[in-house]
Structure 1
Amino acid sequence: MQLSIYTKNPHARAISHLLAKNPATVYERKVKGHAVRFAYHKMTDDELYASIFVTPDSLALVKDNEAYDITHYINDREFAVSTIFLSLIRSALGTALNGKPKEEYIQYAAMDFPFTFEFGPISSSLSDEEIRGLWEPLGYDVTIDTMADARRARFLTLFNTISLKKALQQIFIIIPVMDDYKHYYIDEAERERLENYGEGWLETHPMREFIYKKALRFKQLLLNEENEQKVDKPSLNTRRYETIARTVTALKPKTVIDMGAGEGKLSILLAQIDSITKLYSVDPSNHALAKMEKRFADHQFATTPIIKWGSLYYEDQEFAGADVFVLCEVIEHIDEERLPQIMQLITQNYMPQHLIITTPNAEYNTVYELTEMRHDDHRFEWDRNQFEAWCKAVAPNYDLHFEGIGSVDEQYGAPTQMCIMTRRDSHAI
Structure 2
Amino acid sequence: MLITLTSTDADATDLGHLLHKHPGRVQTFGVSSGQAHVFYPEAADKRCTVALLLEVDPVALVRGKGRSDGFALAQYVNDRPYAASSLLAVALGRVFRTAMAGRCDSRPGLAERALPLEIHVPALPCRGGAAVAERLFAPLGWTVSATTVPLDPTVPEWGDSRYVDLRLTGRVRVADALNHLYVLLPVLDDAKHYWVSPEEVDKLVRAGDGWLAGHPERDLITRRYLAHQRPLVASAVARLADVDDTEPEALDNAVPGDGEAPPQRRVPLAQARRDGVLDALRTARATTVLDLGCGEGALVKALLDDPAFDRVVGVDVSHRALEAAAVRLRLDRTAERRRDRVELRQSSVTYRDARNAGFDAAVLMEVIEHLDPPRLPALERSVFGYAKPGTVVVTTPNVEYNVRWPDLPAGATRHRDHRFEWTRAQFRDWADTVARNYAYTVSYLPIGDDDAEVGPPTQMAVFTRSEATA
TM-score, with structure 1 as normaliser: 0.55
Residues 307 and 414 from structure 1, CA distance in 2 versus in 1: closer, same or farther, beyond 3 angstroms? same
Instruction: Give the structure, 1 or 2, with the largest relative contact order (CA under 8 Å, sep 6 or more).
Output: 1
> 1:377 aligns to what?
417
**Contact 1:331–1:339 (Cα < 8 Å) also in 2:** yes
Q: Which amino acid aligns with 1:240?
A: R
Aligned partners of 1:272 and 1:303 also within 8 Å: no
The alpha-carbon distance between structure 1 residues 267 and 194, as it changes in their structure 2 partners (threshold 3 A), is closer
Identity of matched residues, % = 25
CA distance in 1, matches of 2:265, 2:253: 6
Distance 2:96 2:80 in 1: 18
Question: Which secondary structure does the structure 2 equivalent of 1:219 belong to?
Answer: coil
Secondary structure of the structure 1 residue equivalent to 2:404: helix
- The answer to whether the 8 Å contact 1:359/1:417 transfers is yes
Q: Is the 8 A contact 1:131 1:178 kept in 2?
A: no
| Contact 1:355–1:421 (CA under 8 A) maintained in structure 2 | yes
Shift of residue 277, structure 1, vs aligned partner: 2.0
| Structure 1 residues 229 and 252: CA distance shift in structure 2, 3 A | farther
Displacement of 1:221 in angstroms is: 6.9
Query: Which of 371, 395, 410 is equivalent to 1:358?
Result: 395
SS at structure 2 position matched to 1:395 = helix
Deviation of the 1:214 alpha carbon: 4.2
The aligned counterpart of 1:104 is none
3-state DSSP of counterpart to 1:210: coil
Give the alignment partner of residue 197 of structure 2, picking from 176, 179, 203: 179
Q: Match for 1:319 among 343, 356, 362?
A: 356
2:459 maps to which of 417, 421, 424: 417
Structure 2 CA distance for aligned equivalents of residues 426 and 134 of structure 1: 65
Whole-angstrom CA distance in 2 between matches of 1:199 and 1:336: 33
The equivalences for 1:152-163 within 5 A come to 158-160=94-96, 163=100
Instruction: Please give the per-residue CA displacement for 1:16-40, whole angstroms capped at 9, x wherever unaligned.
Output: xxxxxxxxxxxxxxxxxxxxxxxxx
SS in 2 for 1:267: helix
Gaps of 5+ in 2: 1-15, 21-51, 53-78, 103-175, 184-191, 201-208, 235-250
- TM-aligned CA deviation for residue 313 of structure 1: 2.8
Cα gap change, 1:199 to 1:278, in 2 (>3 Å) = closer
Could you report, residue by residue, the CA deviation over 1:127-155 in whole angstroms, capped at 9, with x for unpaired residues?
x9799689446x2229xxxxxxxxxxxxx
1:179/1:140 CA distance change after superposition, 3 Å? closer
Q: Determine whether 1:256 maps to 2:274.
A: no
Map 1:313-352 onto structure 2 (within 5 A).
313-352=350-389
Could you tell which deviates more after superposition, 250-259 or 128-137? 128-137
Aligned partner of 1:90 in structure 2 is none
| CA distance in structure 2 between the aligned counterparts of 1:358 and 1:395, rounded to whole angstroms | 15
How far did 1:348 drift? 1.2
Cα distance, 1:271 vs structure 2: 1.3
Distance 2:384 2:402 in 1: 30
Residue 196 of structure 1: SS of its match in structure 2? coil
User: Is 1:283 aligned with 2:233?
Assistant: no
Amino acid at match of 1:378: H
Partner Cα separation in structure 2 for residue 140 and residue 267 of structure 1: 36
| 3-state SS in 1 of match to 2:427 | helix
* Residues 408 and 220 (structure 1), Cα distance of their counterparts in 2 relative to 1, 3 Å cut: farther
Whether 1:140 aligns to 2:140 is no
Q: Is this contact kept in 2: 1:276–1:303, CA < 8 A?
A: no
Kept in 2: contact 1:400–1:421 (CA 8 A): yes
Alpha-carbon contact 2:196-2:227 (below 8 Å) kept: no
State which structure, 1 or 2, has the greater radius of gyration over its C-alpha atoms.
Answer: 2
Structure 1: where are the runs of 5+ without partners? 1-8, 14-113, 115-127, 143-156, 183-191
Equivalent-residue separation in structure 1 for 2:397 and 2:82 (angstroms):
35
Give the whole-Å Cα distance in 1 for the aligned partners of 2:307 and 2:214. 33
Distance 1:197 1:296, change over 3 A: closer
Residue identity opposite 1:420 in structure 2: V
2:405, 2:85 → 1: CA distance? 27
For residue 315 of structure 1, give the secondary structure of its aligned residue in structure 2.
coil
Can you list the C-alpha shifts for 1:74-109, whole angstroms capped at 9, x where unaligned?
A: xxxxxxxxxxxxxxxxxxxxxxxxxxxxxxxxxxxx
Aligned match for 2:345, one of 286, 308, 316: 308
User: RMSD of the alignment, in Å?
Assistant: 4.4
Say if 1:221 and 1:231, in contact at 8 Å, map to a contact too: no
Question: For residues 134 and 381 of structure 1, what CA distance do their matches in structure 2 show?
Answer: 41
Q: Aligned residues, how many?
A: 283
Determine the C-alpha separation between the residues in 1 that align with 2:264 and 2:211: 16
- Whole-Å Cα distance in 2 between the matches of residues 318 and 129 of structure 1? 62
Give the TM-score taking structure 2 as reference length.
0.51
Determine the C-alpha separation between the residues in 2 that align with 1:325 and 1:337: 22
Residues 334 and 229 of structure 1: is their aligned pair in 2 closer, same or farther, counting only changes over 3 Å? farther
Matched, 1:222 2:242: no
By how many angstroms is 1:285 displaced? 1.0
Counterpart AA for 1:412: V
Per the TM alignment, residue 274 of structure 1 is displaced from its structure 2 partner at its CA by 2.7
Cα distance in 2, alignment partners of residues 198 and 132 from structure 1: 24
What letter matches 2:101 in structure 1?
L
Q: Deviations over 1:210-237 (max 9, x none)?
A: 3462414663573574588663123211
Task: Give 1:367 shift.
Answer: 0.8
Matches within 5 A, 1:189-268: 196=213, 203-204=220-221, 207-208=224-225, 210-211=227-228, 213-216=230-233, 219-220=252-253, 222=255, 225-226=258-259, 231-268=264-301
The alpha-carbon distance between structure 1 residues 212 and 414, as it changes in their structure 2 partners (threshold 3 A), is farther
2:305 counterpart residue number: 272
Distance 1:366 1:193 in 2: 27
AA matched with 2:196: M
Deviation of 1:403 after TM superposition, in Å, equals 1.2
Aligned letter for 2:413?
Answer: M
